[in-house]
Chains A and B, each alone.
Chain A
Amino acid sequence: MRYLPHTETDIRQMLETIGVTEIDELFSGIPEPCRLQAPLDLPPALSESESMTILRALAEQNAKVSEWDCFLGGGAYNHFVPAVVDHLVSRSEFYTAYTPYQPEISQGTLQAIFEFQTMICQLTGMDVANASMYDGASACAEAVLLALRVGRKRNKVLLSEALPPQYRETIATYCRYLEVELIEVPQQDGVTDQAELAALLDDQVAAVAVGYPNYFGQIEDLQALAAAAHAAGAKLISAVAEPMALGMFKAPGELGADVVVGEGQSFGIPLSFGGPGIGFFAVKQKDMRALPGRLVGETVDLDGKRGFVLTLATREQHIRREKATSNICSNQGMCTLMVGIFLALHGKQGLRKLAELNYAKAAYAKQQIAALDGFELAFDGETFNEFVVTCKESVADLQQRLEKEGILPGISLIKDYPELGNGLLICVTEQNSREQIDRLVSALAGGEA
């Protein structure tokens, strides 16, 4: 076996040093009734070429976004990943390292995370960001837990109906056995209904969580929502499932959000069937010590030279145990690096232009589709790179019909939002050429409706 280096001679010498004659004696601490009596029923080992043949065959059965006209979004976005990103994250000094517990030999990881934290703060308009969470959905759940911690005795959390369904489901799981009541705030014309929100807010509400852009791609009026939440003493959590929008739209921090969380997959991370992505998590200064997850801070070494360390670790599980702010004990290290590289490459100008390109493409598609018979925009209001249309035709039929033409037209909203009728969530990014959009439009028009 190529990963196991010992020769028979090595093994013999080592057993001798240990003072046993057989490898089996090393397992004498395992009582006989606990021993497995038969060999594992798994296929025999394969050579590299054989295993790659199997894996390639599996991979080939899947739809690659590069070979389809893909208009799927809904929390995972088809953006271009520059060659530099994968090239740099493939440096194994990064990806074969562990958590930077020994800072003297982990300065690469630590500085990269410090830079990531800084860029997340800049992007979200917040003061402090952590080294990342698992993904947008779980980060949003942890944001709810943070609000409950700092809100002390408050035990209600209001979730906008336009928050991505997977985020709401994850929050429900995290809160399952905690004393908290989760209440849904209905959407009105695709955004959180402000009148309903006002009616639901009281002094028991710890937080209000809304999407920005929300699940329908709509830009919520965060400023008004934050003002309403703050008037009741609650925090506003802004969940950003498509952070590309922050390249052009106002930062949630600027609009009064207290916690900004989201999914960073759009920034240089492959779709990879939904994971791994990365959750980002940012707060204002006053909530710094309530943050879950790892934090990297700047300091100096004995010679006064700048260096970076993991810090404020007393919030975490390995020290505070049952009183920790979270049980998380990792961050999405490799994905943090992808996001950092992607943002560094695009920078101040590029991110803006990329966002504007997404906006313009989606606006074009939206306009073209709205003009078709049998299709209507579900909502007015500003959107980023996703929007909802309602169709006369059943969404399932439509999807099937367009699939034959090599088009994945969008996500059906029938299960999550039946009240919209035949709702279809369409996402258009810089990866969709005008030609593709035109093909989508004419394919949609080709239906019987």
Chain B
Amino acid sequence: MSRTDSRGLVLDEKLLFESTSEGRVGYSLPQCDVPEVTPDSKLLRDEIADFPELSEVDVVRHYTRLSTWNYGVDSGFYPLGSCTMKYNPKVNEQAARLPGFAELHPQAPEHLSQGALQLMYMLQRDLAEVSGFDAITLQPAAGAQGEFAGMLMIRAWHEAQGNKRNKVIIPDTAHGTNPATASLCGFEVIPVATDGVLSKTAIEAVMSDEVAALMVTNPNTLGLFESDIREICDLIHERGGLVYADGANLNALMGISRPGDIGIDVMHFNLHKTFSTPHGGGGPGAGPVGVVEKLLPFMPTPIVVKEGDRYKLEYDLKQSIGRVKGFAGHFGILVRAYSYILSMGGEGLKRATEMAVLNANYIRARLEGEYDLPHKQRSLHEVVFSEAALENDCHTLDVAKRLIDYGFHPPTIYFPLVVRGALMIEPTETESKQNLDEFCDALLAIADEAKKQPELLKQAPVRAKVKRLDEATAARKPKLRWVRE
């Protein structure tokens, strides 16, 4: 590969290791102002073979070029269902980089970390207000880890009551993390089939005194509010179980309905979804967990508490499940989320939810005739179409790839599994009507292309950095690192 492969300004770029020149440097270090000493040479390694040797300019160009092959929320509309790709406000980024936050050592004495602790305390309080829970832990690093912490608390609570419950009910619409988390906690999974929403009778049929909890996503992955949720929670509670909610879709509920008020016992938040922190190309996120009062003693430590006018990290929870990671949480992400809440205020958060739901329903209304909508109930923040109406053997994957040629990031595809060839669209509240119209126009044009020129879909994308990639070969003969040929 060489730079001459570039098409216009779609610049090509070799791997770091292929651009290396022996002896080239991209760093500057202070002079050694103490005696130079080295340890026993037996302990020392040889130079790291093939490690990069580049100038600062090389490195800057390299990553700048790579960045141009990416599509982010700042590039355009990014309607990934279930991921809530809302705009990431720039003030949040600036806040997280304030030296008083970025340069604070986690082992600094408490009285020299009061600002950070106060921010965490207030974020705990605000998340509790939005969700209706009694207490919040900010420690989990991401939604999946929040889920893990939440399910451990459920297990610990049962054990403290002397219950030997080892099963968990999980509906088939759930995220894959739910069963994976349950088994990490040593639970056996009882799957439940749903028809759009959970029915009380379906839950009743599998509920027993071996069931520790129900794991539920509300609104669920079809964007539907679980209308029987209160009755279902009552049933689970009457039979001695607890209810865990996956908070991935909280963006549909802010200021409208609070999980903690309607019978949910534990829920994780995804700050990178609902509270606008960037997805970062795959992370870091943050996955705080809210709990009802009876689960408070089991929370992971540390949590932030206030004593008089001082804030402190509390490590002393006798029944705590322990820590799930190092230190107190993804603090840099917590700063961004808190900055977002300050910018939005209570009314603003509610408005965000209303606009997110408006946008999803607008897309639904504009596409419903051309794309098959398997679940017709009133949906909230996202809408899920199937591939049933596509003609000429065109599939969801083809529609997704063709959208790239139209300049959009595709929606989530093939999830949830209960919809054949699912096309799961979550526009979020930060998109204008113009953006939504352009996106809907593109999807309608693609449906028409599927009828008249299906090859346009099959070949797509043709306007991206690369064409469709051979994923089968990648998996058959895994090449997971560069090595000198």
Whether A134 pairs with B358 at a CB distance below 8 angstroms is: no
Chain B residues within 8 Å of A316, by CB = 176
Whether A35 pairs with B257 at a CB distance below 8 angstroms is: yes
Q: With contacts A54-B342, A104-B465, A263-B326 known, is A112 near B63, CB below 8 A?
A: yes
Chain B residues within 8 Å of A137, by CB = 323, 325-326
A28-51 to B contact mask, C-beta < 8 Å, 1/0: 111101111001111111101011
Whether B323 pairs with A360 at a CB distance below 8 angstroms is: no
B318-354 to A contact mask, C-beta < 8 Å, 1/0: 0001111111111111010011011111111111101
Whether A326 pairs with B91 at a CB distance below 8 angstroms is: no
Q: With contacts A98-B83, A103-B466, A434-B33 known, is A62 near B48, CB below 8 A?
A: no
In the assembled complex, B390 has its CB within 8 A of some CB on chain A: no
Whether A330 pairs with B48 at a CB distance below 8 angstroms is: no
Chain A residues within 8 Å of B25, by CB = 347, 349-350
B376-389 to A contact mask, C-beta < 8 Å, 1/0: 01111000000000
Q: In the assembly, what is the distance between CA of A228 and CA of B35, in Å?
A: 37
Q: With contacts A59-B98, A273-B104 known, is A345 near B59, CB below 8 A?
A: yes
Q: In the assembly, what is the distance between CA of A169 and CA of B325, in Å?
A: 8
Of the listed stretches A118-126, A152-160, A189-197, A229-237, chain B binds: A118-126
Q: In the assembly, what is the distance between CA of A351 and CA of B25, in Å?
A: 11
Choose among A93, A246, A322 the residue that contacts B74 (Cβ–Cβ < 8 A). Answer: A93
Of the listed stretches B65-73, B289-297, B448-456, chain A binds: B65-73
User: From residue B456, how far is it (CB to closest CB) to chain A in Å?
Assistant: 15
Q: In the assembly, what is the distance between CA of A173 and CA of B325, in Å?
A: 9
User: From residue A265, how far is it (CB to closest CB) to chain B in Å?
Assistant: 9
Whether A249 pairs with B48 at a CB distance below 8 angstroms is: no
Interface residues of A in 408-437 (CB under 8 A from B): 408, 411, 430, 433-434, 437
Of the listed stretches B198-206, B237-245, B360-368, chain A binds: B360-368
Q: Which residue of A lies closest to B270 (CB)?
A: A330
In the assembled complex, A335 has its CB within 8 A of some CB on chain B: yes
In the assembled complex, B130 has its CB within 8 A of some CB on chain A: yes
Chain A residues within 8 Å of B332, by CB = 270, 272-273, 275-276
Chain A residues within 8 Å of B429, by CB = 3-4
Whether A360 pairs with B37 at a CB distance below 8 angstroms is: yes
Whether B467 pairs with A337 at a CB distance below 8 angstroms is: no
Q: In the assembly, what is the distance between CA of A107 and CA of B276, in Å?
A: 24
B252-265 to A contact mask, C-beta < 8 Å, 1/0: 00111110011000
| Among B49, B71, B429: residue with most chain A CB under 10 A | B71
Whether B471 pairs with A299 at a CB distance below 8 angstroms is: yes
Choose among B34, B44, B103 the residue that contacts A65 (Cβ–Cβ < 8 A). Answer: B103
Whether B280 pairs with A334 at a CB distance below 8 angstroms is: yes
Q: With contacts A84-B59, A104-B464 known, is A322 near B365, CB below 8 A?
A: no
In the assembled complex, A202 has its CB within 8 A of some CB on chain B: no
In the assembled complex, B224 has its CB within 8 A of some CB on chain A: yes
B84-108 to A contact mask, C-beta < 8 Å, 1/0: 0111110101111111111111111
Chain B residues within 8 Å of A364, by CB = 34-35, 37
| Among A39, A134, A411: residue with most chain B CB under 10 A | A134
Q: Which residue of A lies closest to B106 (CB)?
A: A274
Chain B residues within 8 Å of A104, by CB = 401, 404, 461, 464-469
Whether A55 pairs with B432 at a CB distance below 8 angstroms is: no
In the assembled complex, B470 has its CB within 8 A of some CB on chain A: yes
In the assembled complex, B160 has its CB within 8 A of some CB on chain A: no
Q: In the assembly, what is the distance between CA of A276 and CA of B28, in Å?
A: 26
Q: In the assembly, what is the distance between CA of A56 and CA of B96, in Å?
A: 10
Interface residues of B in 46-86 (CB under 8 A from A): 47-54, 56, 59-60, 62-64, 66-75, 78, 80, 83, 85-86
Whether A107 pairs with B144 at a CB distance below 8 angstroms is: no
A284-320 to B contact mask, C-beta < 8 Å, 1/0: 0000100000111111111101111101111011111
Interface residues of A in 60-82 (CB under 8 A from B): 60-66, 70, 72-76, 78, 82
Chain B residues within 8 Å of A248, by CB = 38, 44-45
Whether A84 pairs with B60 at a CB distance below 8 angstroms is: yes
Interface residues of A in 83-112 (CB under 8 A from B): 84, 86-88, 90-109, 111-112
Q: Which residue of B lies closest to A412 (CB)?
A: B107
The 6 closest A-B pairs by CB, nearest first: A274-B327, A59-B100, A274-B106, A61-B115, A45-B345, A96-B72
